[in-house]
Amino acid sequence: MPWAVAMHKETIADQQTLPKGVMLNAYPDSIGGRLSDIVDILKRPELKDSFSLFYILPTFFNSDLDRGFSIIDYGLNDELVTQQDIDELNRLGILFKLDLVLNHLSVRSPQFQDLLQRGSASEFKDFFVDWNEFWAPHGDIGADGLVMPHEEHLQKLFMRKPGLPILKVRFPDGSERLYWNTFYQDINYGEVVPEDFASIPSIEPDQAHSIAALVNQALSEKMAPDTLDLGCFAHVRDDVIAVLEQKRQYLGQMDLNARSEKVWDFYDDTLRRLSDYGAKIVRLDAFAYLHKEPGQANFFNRPGTWDYLERLKGIARKYDLIVFPEIHAEYGSGLYEEVAAQGFPIYDFFFPGLVIDALERGSSDALLRWVAEVQEKDIKTINMLGCHDGIPVLDLRGADIDGDPRRGLLEDASIDTVMERIIERGGRVKNLYGPDGKKISYYQVNATFFSALGEDERKLRLARAIQLFMPGIPQVWYLDLFAGANDYAAADNGGAAGHKEINRTNLSKADVEEGLQRAVVQDQLAMIRLRNTSPAFEGTLQAEASADHLLHLTWEHQGEEARLEANLRDYRFEIRHGPKGGTQQVLSFG
């Protein structure tokens, strides 16, 4: 019986205790094209008892960008998901993990659309962060109408993209407002037609054709309206620009103003809705950017972020939910420990890089240090090899905290070696930027985990075995399960965020049928079933190494035992499980 099914929901919510078992991770259309196709796969005998949980990525909802992380609203995306799919998963005893994208909503959300349509009269005027209002007491306004924060504040800002995090929007009265926009944005203008100028008395019908041609040529060259050169029609330039501005179109993820009670009412309503869908765990995406305060980095501000998290935990408790903050930061900063100490589970973003390091060097030392820390500090984790994003790099580094240098889980040279090896094998790189637009550091490397391992099936089997013997919930990316390789065409054609598409290949049903015949897939499923069903994993873990290249991980609980013995140099390993001291089953690989 899957462990998650037996968990009482009050225990989960009140104690922030994670359910047990193995978690599948996929988009609703990752296999076959709709969530119903994944449901059909999970019903197959080959996957019986494999997964107790399912992290369904947010194209589950109505969204428009960033493969789901730009939410329009939290209604079901009926192109991919039906209530029947949800009911079927519930009947299979599979619990859900879903996302609340805490920091932002899409420009196309009802709230932001109301703001665009009604301007200052909108009830959502304060639902988003007005950049100039926020910074007015702490900056200077320029001729372009932008309030530039004072230098001491500007230099502290943590940026996710080059340039200031703002989007300029036009209100119905013709005024322009600047709103905080940490992540993606784009502004486009629809093509004009001669009829658009019919209401301008000074433009004759034959002139309208010429003006439309000039404007559309400028748009095709990506020229901004305020640089428009109309030549002999310069006398009607302002009228033409006014027409063009009515065709302004936005894409973007607009930061929410957590100082507004309307935003908290929205969070409450959303968490209730996620609970109604059947969620038990809610991942708080981009939560560290939510609290904003002049003079701070506006990334995990203290104590404001803690205040927000506690308030969210209180709301979640009403709906029997675990809230789960998603955080990327250097190991040396200690932020992971700070979050865990407050009773929250954390993503183990350190684990993927540690596994690659262990398999490349043939050494368990760094990995075992991390296992020991997780056990000693009782850190509740969800771990993964691959995921919808990249393989973390920044997270493994040390940090300098107010002049106090703290070591990383790996030395910088070892991290660079891991990164370079993945890039040699076809990985793509994502960077972080400072307020001046200059690159600060590598953030993550994008690749499938199979390709990151040199597409060596022996390494993938062993990596999965190590993951399944780690503390916490093992989260399995669907593409890793089927030993998916880098998708270079998708990465090349994916635009600004194309690097992420290298690891998001949708599988057809035929791909799955073929994959289920492969030994590397069958072997992973055998190990996943063991982790998902064996009572040994309810107990305690003992980790040891008789030599640097040997790794021994043993779980024991009420007379049941599961033991992994692995050689990190030749990738051979053996799993024994069953009654301690009695007859045990053996799985041997390599």
Active-site residues: which are they? 285, 326
Residue 258 near residue 291, CB atoms below 8 Å? yes
Q: 567: exposed, middle or buried (C-beta count within 10 Å: 0-12, 13-18, 19+)?
A: middle
Residue 482 near residue 507, CB atoms below 8 Å? yes
Nearest to 531 by CA among 552, 555, 507, 547: 555
Helix axes 457-468, 351-361, angle to 10 degrees: 130
The CA distance from 321 to 298, in Å, is: 27
The CA distance from 310 to 55, in Å, is: 23
Strand partners, 167: 179
Q: How many CB atoms lie within 10 A of CB 232?
A: 8
Nearest to 508 by CA among 26, 30, 39: 30
Strand partners, 562: 555, 577
The residues near 179 (Cβ < 8 Å, ≥ 6 apart) are 128, 129, 130, 131, 166, 167, 169, 254, 255
Residue with tokens 């998902």, as numbered in its chain:
532
The residues near 166 (Cβ < 8 Å, ≥ 6 apart) are 131, 146, 178, 179, 180, 181
Structure token digits, residue 39? 């449901």
Strand partners, 442: 431
Strand partners, 322: 281
Strand partners, 25: 55, 477
Helix axes 237-245, 205-220, angle to 10 degrees: 60
The residues near 55 (Cβ < 8 Å, ≥ 6 apart) are 23, 24, 25, 26, 96, 97, 98, 281, 283, 475
The residues near 563 (Cβ < 8 Å, ≥ 6 apart) are 552, 553, 554, 555, 575, 576, 577
Element (H, E) at 99: strand 95-101
Residue 261 near residue 127, CB atoms below 8 Å? no
